[in-house]
């Protein structure tokens, strides 16, 4: 009886909202530095050997890190079907752009060193740059659009018309000023994260170049994040549920009445404790920048992780319980309380997560322990498996 009460529909919905956040943060903390390193590649490595050092710092781990991306997409599909339907159809072109860029990464890793030609290798280096920079930017643009609300509406049978118009117009709608600012936050924080990783895994000139760029990226991330907060407070309307909130009711967003107006930041007066998220963001970035400038290694990467966790958490905590607001019809907005899968589905998924998440975490920890240490230029000549 106690277990049944604890695992009520309301509790399971909150748990899966939290788990979705954990998966997105896990992706940013692991594959995030891979993306950052890829975006830094042409700038921190001036010679072929230096660029090979950079590539081999992430070469053994980038595929495993993408597990978090796959888990996040799977969790959205299984736990929040309306969110999956609206976001993956409305953001179709953005998703295609991300996937096209991500496809360049495995191809670039595998083919770059297959020929001695400088032109060949330089071309693949820029492909790896695109594979890192474009997803880092577009992920932030997507979050910026979510904070503003997305133009979709639900019909009585829960079909979701969205973004009417041609494909180019759909993409241009996503590239609005606030979304681009959010993209700058995302790109710069992952550049900082990638620089922190190179500070840990590389040495010499490559390490120092990365740390210098990382300082600049961290400052840009903090300033852009602060500007986005001000813009969010005074330039973008928030959303509120104005009808009775049924937390264990059916998954039908049309049962709730939502109004648009005021500020998203009223959440901080209603739930003052969530200020911990932006505090973590600014403190983490500040200490990561200080660590990069001082040449610190392990602590810098940890502070960078703290900053990223704070930035991503602040978005979810500010919007709660909204997951995807609608600008066209606020009543169609998706929230934690009306957009989930069934009670049974969430419970079965939770059991699977309890079983498999520790296995994933244990294996990931073991891999990083085995691969601990710096990548040196002489290692590349002595290891036939290096890129």
Through-space distance between the first and last CA atoms of the chain, rounded to whole angstroms: 56
**Mean predicted confidence (pLDDT) in 368-374:** 85
Provide the pLDDT confidence category of residue 5 given band limits of 50, 70 and 90. low
Is the pLDDT reported for residue 378 higher than 80? no
Per-residue pLDDT, 380: 76
Per-residue pLDDT, 1: 45
2-6, 299-303, 305-309, 380-384: range with lowest mean pLDDT = 2-6
- What's the chain's average pLDDT? 88
| 208-242 residue pLDDT tens | 999 999 999 999 999 999 999 999 988 899 999 98
Residue appearing with tokens 């691969």? 371
| 7-48 residue pLDDT tens | 788 999 999 999 999 999 999 999 899 999 999 999 999 898
| 48-58 residue pLDDT tens | 889 999 998 99
The first and second tokens of residue 172, run together, are 């241009």
Angle at 364 between CA 112 and CA 371, to 5 degrees: 55
Question: Does residue 350 sit in helix, strand or coil?
Answer: helix
**Mean predicted confidence (pLDDT) in 152-159:** 74
- Residue 10: other Cβ atoms inside 10 A: 15
**Mean predicted confidence (pLDDT) in 144-158:** 84
Per-residue pLDDT, 139: 93
> What is the C-alpha separation between 108 and 101, in angstroms, rounded?
11
> What is the C-alpha separation between 291 and 386, in angstroms, rounded?
29
What residues does 239 pair with on adjacent strands? 260
> What is the C-alpha separation between 281 and 6, in angstroms, rounded?
32
Q: 135 to each of 59, 301, 323, how far by Cα in Å?
A: 18, 21, 21
* Residue 30 near residue 65, CB atoms below 8 Å: yes
> What is the C-alpha separation between 34 and 65, in angstroms, rounded?
8
Residue appearing with tokens 């590649």? 41
| 75-116 residue pLDDT tens | 888 999 988 888 887 777 888 888 899 898 889 888 888 888
- Residue 282: other Cβ atoms inside 10 A: 17
- In the chain, % of residues over pLDDT 90: 50
Which residues make Cβ contacts (< 8 Å) with residue 52, sequence separation at least 6?
45, 113, 377, 380, 386, 387
**Mean predicted confidence (pLDDT) in 130-157:** 89
Provide the pLDDT confidence category of residue 163 given band limits of 50, 70 and 90. low
| 341-368 residue pLDDT tens | 999 899 999 999 999 889 988 988 898 8
Is the pLDDT reported for residue 252 higher than 80? yes
Taken as a whole, the chain contains a residue count of 387
The distance of Cα 42 from the centroid of its chain, to the nearest Å, equals: 23
Domain boundaries, the chain: 2-370
> What is the C-alpha separation between 260 and 331, in angstroms, rounded?
9
> What is the C-alpha separation between 27 and 290, in angstroms, rounded?
24
């Amino acid at each position: 009886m106690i277990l049944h009460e604890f695992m009520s529909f309301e509790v399971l919905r909150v748990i899966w909202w939290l788990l979705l956040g954990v998966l997105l943060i896990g992706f940013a903390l692991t594959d995030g530095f891979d993306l950052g390193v890829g975006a830094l590649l042409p700038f921190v490595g001036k010679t072929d050997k230096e660029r090979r050092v950079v590539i081999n710092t992430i070469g053994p781990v980038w595929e495993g890190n993408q597990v978090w991306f796959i888990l996040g997409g799977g969790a959205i599909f299984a736990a929040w079907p309306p969110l999956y339907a609206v976001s993956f159809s409305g953001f179709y072109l953005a998703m295609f752009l991300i996937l096209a860029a991500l496809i360049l990464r495995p191809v670039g890793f595998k083919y770059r060193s297959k020929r001695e030609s400088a032109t060949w290798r330089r071309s693949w280096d820029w492909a790896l740059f695109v594979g890192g920079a474009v997803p880092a930017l577009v992920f932030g643009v997507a979050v910026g659009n979510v904070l503003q609300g997305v133009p979709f509406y639900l019909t009585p049978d829960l079909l979701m018309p969205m973004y009417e118009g041609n494909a180019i117009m759909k993409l241009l709608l996503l590239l609005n000023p606030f979304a681009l600012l959010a993209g700058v936050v995302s790109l710069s924080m992952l550049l900082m994260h990638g620089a922190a990783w190179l500070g840990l895994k590389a040495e010499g000139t490559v390490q120092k170049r990365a740390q210098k760029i990382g300082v600049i990226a961290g400052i840009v991330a903090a300033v852009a994040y602060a500007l986005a907060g001000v813009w969010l407070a005074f330039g973008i309307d928030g959303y509120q549920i104005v009808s009775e909130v049924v937390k264990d009711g059916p998954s039908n967003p049309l049962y709730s009445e939502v109004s648009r107006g005021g500020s998203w930041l009223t959440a901080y007066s209603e739930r003052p404790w969530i200020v911990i998220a932006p505090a973590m963001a600014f403190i983490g970035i500040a200490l990561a920048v200080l660590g990069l400038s001082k040449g610190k290694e392990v602590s810098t990467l940890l502070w960078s992780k703290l900053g990223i966790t704070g930035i991503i958490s602040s978005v979810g905590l500010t919007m709660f319980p909204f997951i995807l607001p609608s600008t066209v019809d606020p009543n169609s907005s998706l929230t934690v309380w009306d957009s989930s899968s069934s009670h049974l589905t969430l419970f079965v998924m939770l059991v699977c997560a309890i079983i498999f998440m520790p296995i994933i975490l244990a294996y990931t920890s073991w891999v990083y322990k085995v691969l601990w240490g710096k990548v040196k230029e002489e290692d590349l000549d002595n290891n036939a498996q290096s890129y």
